[in-house]
Each structure stands twice: as C-alpha cells, then as structure tokens.
Amino acid sequence: MLVMKFGGTSVKDVTQIHKVLEITRGRLKRKPVLVCSAHKGITDKLINAGHAAASTGKADPGAIFEQQRAVARAAGCKDELLEPFYREIEDLLRGIALVREASKRSIDYLSGFGERMSCRVIAEYFTRQGLKAQAFDAFDLGYITDENFGAARPIQGYEKLMAEEFAKKVPRDVIAVITGFVGKTQKGDLTTVGRNGSDFTATCFAAGLGAEECEIWTDTDGVMTADPSLIKDARSIPVMSFAEASELAYYGGRVLHPSTLLPAIKRNIPVRVLNTNRPDHPGTVITENGGDNGLPVTSIAYKENQAVITIESTLMLGQPGFLARVFDVLGRDGVDIDMIATSEVSVSMTCAELPNLNAVVKHLEQFGRVSLVTDKTIVCVVGKNVRDQKGLGAKVFTALRDADVNVEMVSQGANKINLSFLIDDSAIPRAIPALHKALFG
Ligand code: ASP
Ligand code: MG
C-alpha cells in the first residue's frame, strides 16, 4: 500500500485535481490511499469567518461558499454534494455569532470542513473519470485524538484502530480519499492537528496501515537546499535522513510539518516529497539513514519571529537546580525553548514570540534581571556531519560577516547534524543568500 498526501495547492482547482488523478492512475499497482488537504485558501476563509462572527456578531459564510462552489462546479459536481456541509457551517457560524465567542474547539470544528468538502469533490471527480473513489473523514477510519484542540495528536494505539476500521469500511475496489488535518476525540468533538498538519495525518495513516511508503505531494521539487522563494537557484536534495529532515522541518523548512516524520520514524516508513506540477522529478526521499549528496551540508532553514529571554543573576553562581526552577516556570507558562546559551551569571533562551511573554518575564523576575528582545530569526544549517567538519563554522561565519550580518547566539554539538544561530529578522534577505552561496556554490 502507498499513502499519497496532496496539499492545498495540489488540489486547489480542477486543473490541479486532474493532475492528482493522473498521478494516482500511474500508481494503481501500489494500492494508493489518498490523504488530501482543503483547496488552498478555504481553511483561512473558514477560520476568518469564525473570528469575524465572534467579533461582529454576524455570520457570513459567503466567501467560503463562493470559492468552494466554484471549485466543485468546475469539477462537475452538483451543488447537492456539499449542501449538508454548507448548512452545518451556517449553523455553526450562527452559533459563534450568537455567543460572540470563537473557542479553540469551535474553530477546530469549523476549520475541518475544508478537508471534508475537498475530499468529497475529489472522490466524486475521480469516480466520474473512471477511477472509483470514496471520501472518508479520517475520524471514521480510526483517527481518534486527544482533546488538545488546535494541536491534537492521535491517542495511543490508534494504529491498530485505524487498520481495523480501514479493513471494515473501505471496499477493496475503491480508492479511499481521506481528510487530512481533522480528527475527533473519544467524546466525539472534532479536532485538528494544527495548521499545515495534513502531512502529519498522512504519515499517521502510513504508520497505521503499514504502508510501504508515504508520498507528500507539494509544489516544490522535494525538499530544497533553501527556501526557493528567497533563493532562486535553490536545489532539490535527492536523499536525506529522518533526523536531518526533522531538524529542517522544526527549524522552519517550509515543506514538511514539523511532526510529519515522527510516525514514519516509529515504523521506519520512507517519506518521499514530490512535485504535483512536475511528477517526473524524483524529489526527495527521506529514510532512516539518508545518504550522501556529495555536499558538506544538506540544507539551510530559518524560523523568524523568535524572542530571546535573558536572565542575569548572581544567584546562579554555583547553584545546582537553578535552571530547573527557571524551566519549571517556563513549562507552566507553556514556553517551548529552542536555543539556550549560558555564562556564569546569565542565561539566554529563545522561543517563539508568544502573546504571553510579558507575563513570563514578570514570573521570571524572581530569579534576577530579565530582558526580552524580539524580531529574531534562528538559522539552522543541517547536514549529515556538521559537527565533525573542520572549517565549516569558519565558512558560515565568514559568509555572514561579509554580508554584514551580526550573529548573537550560537548552538552546535547537541547533535551531529545541526549548527544554529540567531540573527535579526531584518537580516534574512542578506544572510540566507550569502550562506547558500558559500555552502552550495
Ligand atoms: N488545510 C489545513 C491548513 O491550511 C491543513 C493542511 O493543508 O495541511 O492548514
Ligand atoms: Mg503543506
């Protein structure tokens, strides 16, 4: 079995959906199962309508229906196909407008309609084109999650449930078109795995169904050496390891959702990233051991809008347990630390620019003088053997100096494959091209 995930741009309209059909047709021998996103733009429209209903007291699904209807009609679907979803969206928006409150739970319920509608359209189109397909909501096939709305994760043992439900519900002669992104709690509330999370849904299904491979179909030729919107001559990376791809995804590589690889790693299922618009391009294959691309590093990623919290305190000096207490406070405030640097009497830590950081600073003031700076970017250079390469640091920092970029914090050595450092957000357009040139020629 082959799990194939198609993202929002890959199913954005009938032209794209037709490409998906042809790609699927070419893989019938491998027993494809599809996991699909909403048509690009629909999820944003659903979420915006939810927040607008809460703030204005008015339910306005107009923009959602307009786009969804246009895609469905162009694909030859009758309006009735999606009518029940439209009614439910109207009811839900009316409810949100009445209580003037868009809770995480309501937003999850609402934003999941995008995938549920697109999968109906895709399955119906496929069937009319002679490829018998059927749409399924992931939660009807065992995708049961915890109650962490907005970032829900499947419950323990979901793999077994998934395999059972799939065997029970999916007829042998149809292609299952399964919703990415959405799940359901054991109590029956709808959840989502978080924005851009359909990749993760796909690898969960690959794990649960014991697929031979999971293909992630997107709009770039696999994982690239750097963000192609910034670097015109960014190159596709033929092979990489789970560890390298995880670091890249976490540190802002734009192609994969950060959690994507976890289920694949657990079951050792290769993940292949491919381009829907250039299906013959080999893309990137991500496996346990990766491989040698003949270059010193694999890729450069960056994550902007980071904050740095610094605590200066003589209390630290020779005090075992100091950092444990600091991290206890951070943990309770829900702050996830990425980079950390310490000296005898100070510690600097980076995290995302969360809305509650001013409160966090107050809570940390019990430990010493606390400062907060924002608008920083973590840049991460990933490669199979970054730690053991003589002169790589010199190359990286010389390139940055020549591009007039100041480096504020550095982290290397926690694993073999990653060198990361902190710069200003505003330095991205200088730093990334300079690094790409220095490292990839
Ligand atoms: N449709 C969802 C989003 O836009 C999930 C996804 O596309 O992966 O975030
Ligand atoms: Mg995506």
- Do 188 and 304 belong together in one domain? no
Scored b (16 or more CB within 10 A) or e, 101-115 reads ebeeebbbbbbbbbb
Atom of ligand 1 nearest to the CA of 7: 7
Gap between the Cα atoms of 227 and 229, Å rounded? 5
Q: Encoding tokens for residue 174?
A: 């149809």
Gap between the Cα atoms of 246 and 266, Å rounded? 13
274 pLDDT tier (thresholds 50, 70, 90): very high
Total domains in the chain come to 2
Q: Please name the residue whose Cα sits nearest to atom 6 of ligand 1.
A: 196
| CATH, residue 390 | 3.30.2130.10
Gap between the Cα atoms of 203 and 439, Å rounded? 31
- Do 180 and 308 belong together in one domain? no
- The pLDDT value given to residue 175: 98
Mean pLDDT of 362-367: 96
- The pLDDT value given to residue 5: 98
Q: Is the pLDDT of residue 320 over 90?
A: no
Q: Is the pLDDT of residue 333 over 90?
A: yes
Gap between the Cα atoms of 109 and 77, Å rounded? 24
Q: From the CB of residue 216, how many other CB atoms can be counted at a distance below 10 Å?
A: 28
Lowest mean pLDDT among 158-172, 331-345, 409-423: 409-423
414 pLDDT tier (thresholds 50, 70, 90): confident
Percent above pLDDT 90 for the chain: 88
Q: From the CB of residue 152, how many other CB atoms can be counted at a distance below 10 Å?
A: 24
Q: Please name the residue whose Cα sits nearest to atom 8 of ligand 1.
A: 196
Lowest mean pLDDT among 64-73, 313-322, 373-382: 313-322
239 pLDDT tier (thresholds 50, 70, 90): very high
361 pLDDT tier (thresholds 50, 70, 90): very high
Over the stretch 80-114, which tens digit does the pLDDT of each residue have? 999 999 999 999 999 999 999 999 999 999 999 99
Q: Which of these, 41, 108, 59, 118, lies nearest to 85 by C-alpha position?
A: 118
315 pLDDT tier (thresholds 50, 70, 90): confident
Percent above pLDDT 70 for the chain: 100
Q: From the CB of residue 68, how many other CB atoms can be counted at a distance below 10 Å?
A: 26
Residue 232 DSSP SS3: coil
Q: Encoding tokens for residue 382?
A: 């990933």
Burial of 34 (0-12, 13-18, 19+ CB in 10 A): buried
Mean pLDDT of 135-156: 97
Gap between the Cα atoms of 110 and 70, Å rounded? 20
Gap between the Cα atoms of 420 and 425, Å rounded? 15
Residue matched to tokens 């640097």: 341
Gap between the Cα atoms of 293 and 363, Å rounded? 47
Q: Say if ligand 1 is within 6 A of residue 258 CB.
A: no
Of the residues 218, 250, 273, which one is the last residue of a structural domain? 218
CA 424-335-261 angle, 5° bins: 85
- The pLDDT value given to residue 129: 98
Question: In this structure, is residue 318 part of a structural domain?
Answer: yes
User: How much is the mean pLDDT over the chain?
Assistant: 95
Question: In this structure, is residue 36 part of a structural domain?
Answer: yes
> Which phi and psi angles does 264 have, rounded to 5°?
-70, -40
Question: In this structure, is residue 190 part of a structural domain?
Answer: yes
Mutation test residue for ligand 1: of 11, 37, 46, the one with most atoms within 8 Å of CB: 37
Mean pLDDT of 224-248: 92
252 pLDDT tier (thresholds 50, 70, 90): confident
Distance 5 CA to ligand 2 centre (A): 10
Angle between helices 357-364 and 322-332 (to 10 degrees): 150
Of the residues 218, 245, 275, which one is the last residue of a structural domain? 218
* CA-CA-CA-CA dihedral for 235, 240, 244, 249, to nearest 10: 60
150 pLDDT tier (thresholds 50, 70, 90): very high
As beta bridge partners, residue 286 has 240, 271
| CATH, residue 181 | 3.40.1160.10
Mean pLDDT of 67-91: 98
189 pLDDT tier (thresholds 50, 70, 90): very high
Q: Say if ligand 1 is within 6 A of residue 119 CB.
A: no
Tell me which residue range forms the domain holding 435: 299-440
Q: Is the pLDDT of residue 372 over 90?
A: yes
